[in-house]
Chain A
Amino acid sequence: MRDTLIANARLLDPATGLDAPGALLIRDGAIADLGPGLAAPEGAETVDAAGACLAPGLVDLRAALGEPGAEHRETIASAAQAAAAGGITTLCVLPDSDPPIDDPALVQFVIRRGEATGSVALLPYGAATRGCAGAEIAEFGLLREAGAIAFTDGARAIGNARTMRLALSYARGFGTFVVQHPEEPSLAAGGAATEGELATRLGLPGIPAEAEAILVERDIALARLTGGHVHFAHVSTAAALARIRAAKAEGLAVTCDTAPPYFDLNETAIGDFRTYAKLSPPLRAESDRQAVVAALADGTIDAIASDHQPRDADDKRLPFAQAAAGGAGLATLLAVTLARVHAGDLTLLQALDLLTARPARLLGLPAGRLAKGAPADLVLFHPDRAWKVEAGRLPGKAQNSPFDGRALEGRVLGTWKAGRRVFGG
């Protein structure tokens, strides 16, 4: 492969705090050099970045894919197209597919399908329990050998306290962690929206926001008991974040992520029964949204994940309570996060850290860095270029964006995976 020099860029490496004009040289799929005054070697292809931002490719900690099992919603090929357009070069895949990823052969299947795309690395989670059914823990050791990055039941909470205790305890022996969907199942059963005035007005069955804090509180106690590492996914409430903040201060192995809907939207987005804004957990009150923003800024939240959940029109064109929960999130991950930068809540490096270096460090991956020798997984973006999210016109097959109609600033111009350009240009 010919060397590529990306010249005239604003180099951004959140891990080192680098934010400086310069160029970056790609050789043999890795970053060969970067810095100011870098000249193109003989025969190299030069890309003029025209001052745009060059950052590590995004590491998305949490996405469900339609394949295997729901290819009518999305295939891995179509998800890879959306990921590339969103600047995502590493995608962690939830295991609650059909079949669930609870067997080493299935872990390897997902990894190989990712390799075949040539544009995004798919890193599968293993099921925390067999069939993601919440009862017996899965074969963490064998799944890990096959390449599972960590363990979770995806969108399903591990509700049984004993099962969660065993999972945290057993995972510790393999140096890995358990990702929890923090929602007390008996309080959430049948719910369609956050309990409160809006759900009451719309006549929708509510889920109290406390369902999140209750499971977080329990699992923090279990992490303390077992010494295991629990990671809470898509945290969305002030009460849960306060408990996570306290657990971290106590020195427990507790981490968490959130997703763009929880810091960009609040529950009013479901007004008039808008099913594209039906998510799990449900969108929250404005005060909770603000608490999520504050927890991003103070470092309590370790990563921003897309929380991508592909749904098709038939899943969504239903009365609200019957419609499937979940939003497409790959193509909008960067731009919705940048909205917090434009609003002054986060610095650009903070925002990128949450999308690259911090999730990579959590998973022990070499990705998420702009450094000599690191893989040349890169995203080039214009931080201010305006566009509008339009469901039906997004890259990839899944169009169920909760941000439909949202005007955004920040556009991906190019994506490179292992040195190969997979988007733009």
Chain B
Amino acid sequence: MSLPYPHRHLLAIEGLEPPYIAGLLDLAESYALLNRSGKTQRDLLRGRTLINLFFEDSTRTRTSFELAGKRLGADVINMSVATSSVSKGETLLDTAATLNAMNCDLLVVRHGQSGAPALLAQKVSAAVINAGDGTHEHPTQALLDALTIRRRKGRLEGLTVAICGDILHSRVARSNIHLLTAMNARVRVVGPPTLIPAEAARLGVEVFHDMRSGLRDADVVMMLRLQRERMAAGLVPSSREFFRFWGLDAEKLAAAKPDAIVMHPGPMNRGVEIDSAIADDPARSVIGEQVEMGVAVRMAVLDVLSRQLLRNA
């Protein structure tokens, strides 16, 4: 890679300069090709320890990091909250001290609280990768989404991307907004006013409450997961009302460009935010490719951060 990644950790997309984003995507692209060819590169992380520290359940992201680490030759250990001492009252920083004692090199953290990986990063010697923190960021998801878009559309610049649904609680939306605006895409957020965060426009996006106008001439339609708790908290009255007005079906999608692609970070709530007919339409849905790119992007991130470890050693 022409530009060495400048940071010790990957905690957020916000603040990451466009050339480094492009560099990571280029590297991930080469890993995507390598993965398709069936070859592996097991020497890069040989002797390195990668710990997946997941305080929230996640099958997709954890498995993706596990696969990425193993393809690069790392020793991968999964720690989930249910089986760790965290559930016995150990604090986040006690956990950090334990991980330090184990000489972990790369630490992948998912946590329900915004800022938790940043707090850990202050206390551990490992390079920390944020695998989703609260409603803050999910940087590798934004990178894999960008790679998927770039492969399908050939570019990011100038594209119109509509991010739809529960923007307020979405770390995926925040990371995507930061990445796509940094790369000069036009970003719209679409959802009911109760699920749009305060001052969203200040993040450089256009805000829509109506799907048809929000999706008009969009190149990319990115759906988000709506969690059932949002209905319980009264933010939207019911899932059927949500689906009627903000769920993606063929009729609403018709407002987008004819070749618009449909994305979803998973897991999907079929019939809540997306109609199965759309989710399963191979002509529109790139959801499977997102998962494939996830492994490639995480390999690229592990690659650049491990090179930083060498530089700091």
A interface with B by C-beta (< 8 Å)? 195-197, 199-206, 208, 272-273, 314, 317-322
Contact = CB atoms under 8 A, between A and B. Distances in A.
Contact of B115 (A197, A314, A320): A320
Contacts of A314: 91
B93 A317 contact: yes
Contacts of B283: none
A319 B203 contact: no
A319 B174 contact: no
B203 A203 contact: no
Interface in B31-69: none
A319 B119 contact: yes
B135 A319 contact: no
Q: B-side binding surface: helix, strand, loop or mixed?
A: mixed
Nearest to A206: B198
A317 B133 contact: no
Contact of B200 (A200, A203, A205, A208): A200
A320 B116 CA distance: 8
Interface residues of B, number: 24
Contacts of A321: 113-115, 134
Contacts of B118: 272-273
Contacts of A318: 91-92, 113, 119
B199 A322 contact: no
Contacts of B14: 201
A318 B86 CA distance: 13
B9 interface: no
B116 A319 contact: yes
Contacts of B200: 200
Given A273-B118, A319-B113, A319-B119, A200 B91 contact: no
A273 B199 contact: no
Contacts of B71: none
Contacts of B134: 203-204, 319, 321
Contacts of B88: none
A320 B198 contact: no
B91 A195 contact: no
Interface string B147-171: 0000000000000000000000001
A196 B114 contact: no
B225 interface: no
Interface string B115-129: 110110000000000
A6 B83 CA distance: 67
B110 interface: no
Contacts of A199: 197-198
23 contacts: A196-B199, A197-B198, A200-B198, A200-B199, A201-B14, A202-B114, A202-B115, A202-B136, A203-B137, A206-B198, A273-B115, A273-B119, A314-B91, A317-B119, A318-B92, A318-B119, A319-B111, A319-B113, A319-B114, A319-B119, A321-B113, A321-B115, A321-B134
